[in-house]
Amino acid sequence: MITAIYPGTFDPITNGHSDIVARAACLFDNVIVAVAKSTSKTTAFTIDERVAMAREACAGLERVEVRSFDGLMTNFARERQAKVIVRGLRAVSDFENEFQMAGMNRHLNNEAETVFLMPAEHLSFISSSLVREVASYGGDVGNFVHESVKTALQERLAR
């Protein structure tokens, strides 16, 4: 049984993230979407809100659970016996940061291997901050996020 962990801020989860989760669920026995409580980013949504949105977005996917974690991701991976860390690569620009993070994570937990998956091409330009920005100006984000996330964005950010 191979458990994979897909960590991120998910502020909020987008269809690009969900696409990666679905791909990971085809490859591994269990997938834990791990929502980081503490992050260097100032988040628009609380940890409970981010977890709730991720749960809604992943509701149709079997063998996928959504959990929050605090502290080092590699400790959470060890606690959950996850041998694979999944990260998405959208473009070359993602690579440098991901390369650094994978190296540090390997140093912190040598038992877990980082695996990179590419989202579908039509989702490769999406990011949480872009989605938030479009929503804050009243733009339609329906193609980029789950319906419940769209509603949450409209309630939280619409000016």
Residue 90 known to be catalytic: yes
Residues touching ligand COA: how many (CB under 6 A)?
24
Task: Check residue 126 for interaction with ligand COA (CB under 6 A).
Answer: yes
Structure tokens at 115: 């695996």
Residue from the set 23, 50, 83, 90 that interacts with ligand COA by CB under 6 A = 90
25-53: string of b/e by CB count within 10 Å (b at 16+)?
Answer: beebebbbbbbbbeeeeebbbebebbbbb
Residue 128 known to be catalytic: yes
Closest residue to ligand COA: CB criterion: 16
Residue 122 known to be catalytic: no
Residue 41 known to be catalytic: yes
| Cis amide prior to 119 (ω within 30 degrees) | no
Token look-up 């690009």 returns 16
Segment contacting ligand COA by CB under 6 A, of 11-19, 24-32, 44-52, 56-64: 11-19
CB of 20 or CB of 135, closer to ligand COA: 20
Token look-up 């309630």 returns 155
Q: How far apart are CA 86 and CA 158, in angstroms?
A: 32
In whole angstroms, what separates CA 12 from the centre of its chain? 9
**By the criterion CB under 6 A, which residues form the site for ligand COA?**
7-11, 14, 16-17, 20, 36, 39, 72-73, 88, 90, 101, 104-105, 119, 123, 126-129
The residues assigned a catalytic role are 17, 41, 90, 128
